[in-house]
Structure 1
Amino acid sequence: MTEEDKLFKELLSHGEENLPFPDIEDDVMLNIERLELEKKAIQEDYQRGVAFSWFFFIVGIVSGIVLMSLIPQMEFQVSPKYTDTILLVFQVGFILFVLTHFEKLMSMTRKNIMKF
């Protein structure tokens, strides 16, 4: 054996890793599997949450439309000219609500689609 071979063999022997305990690899693999299962469960919960958000968003839109059609028929203790103002305020608030929540739901849905 030449001097270079001995030096190379010595370098390779220093490259071995001494593990603190023999079953560390098994523990690490079990932790990785557990983390993957948790990640999958979180993604499924996120999908379910987005679906519920869309459902309640549509329920809110239907409720808002029904209320907007009922407000003109309601009798308020205020002057009739304020009824139009109340309806206008409600409509503007409803439109702002729909637009902001629709954009948020779309971004959540896109984010959900991009993950898979």
Structure 2
Amino acid sequence: MGISRATAHKWIRRWRAEGDAGLHDRSSRPRTTPHRTAAAVEEQVCELRRTRKLGPARIGPILGLPASTVHRILTRHRLNRLAWLDRPTGTVIRRYERDRPGELVHVDVK
């Protein structure tokens, strides 16, 4: 069948435990993330980004986090690009958001 013994054993074990339903495709995404950064720390990262406009390399040492973790948090909250923030207020600029696709269609008729 072109598969390893470990994979065949895994499929047989699933079939015995769950029947045909055990052979359907499954997501490889983990069900839980036990070491995810706490929500309070994520809020601090987002607040520093909005108020001081700092990057991950400068936020990390302030909060004791690696820059890669700070970048991941900023990306998750859509704050990873300074160009997406309004400079004076620090709020996220959302351009061209509409309720329905195609709602804002311009037709130039001459």
Q: TM-score, normalised by structure 1?
A: 0.22
Q: TM-score, normalised by structure 2?
A: 0.23
Report the structure number with the largest CA radius of gyration: 1
Query: Larger helix proportion, structure 1 or 2?
Result: 1
Q: Which has the higher contact order (CA 8 A, sep 6+)?
A: 1
